[in-house]
A and B are shown apart, each in its own frame.
Chain A
Amino acid sequence: GDSVTQMEGPVTLSEEAFLTINCTYTATGYPSLFWYVQYPGEGLQLLLKATKADDKGSNKGFEATYRKETTSFHLEKGSVQVSDSAVYFCALSDDNDMRFGAGTRLTVKP
């Protein structure tokens, strides 16, 4: 079945550092790909998405590009802030359902 594999955390960075969180997927069809974020004490919310190959999703300085050839959707941000500290989940959605990775906890220190 379809699945999502995320880079294991936790990840700890200093403010203004570069962030990459790796995400790869397996799917039989052509899924849509998402990054969701869960801030402390809050519910899951969409960060960005891409619905077809080579699409780039972006929001709040975060970016991810749908790479069909490497089945990847890595999340990047050029300069992280303390307020980016959260758990990040990669997810895919296809004909059948929406599945999530295990999540990567990011802590950004001042």
Chain B
Amino acid sequence: DVKVTQSSRYLVKRTGEKVFLECVQDMDHENMFWYRQDPGLGLRLIYFSYDVKMKEKGDIPEGYSVSREKKERFSLILESASTNQTSMYLCASSLSTLGGARQETQYFGPGTRLLVL
């Protein structure tokens, strides 16, 4: 079974703080993704990575950065948290970019609910 874990289920931070969200997967997946999910807006892709040291901007990268130093770990960083970054953050991983349903199926972590005050 694929397992994707996230460092915290709930997090409360103050405006201006630097926030680190960690994600680890144990299935040797190449691809990792960070999304945020807000009511009425669905899942929005922030950043993704196809390999160690690689990163690609998603649809809403502003205010975020990422780090992938090891294949199994993908970190999302909020450089200076703001109240509009209060959201549910979901990490996901998938096998490869070769195409086909099996490779592209994404497996999600349990999510981190972040509240920025």
To the question of whether A and B form a pair in one complex, the answer is no
Which B residues have a C-beta under 8 Å from some C-beta of A?
Answer: none
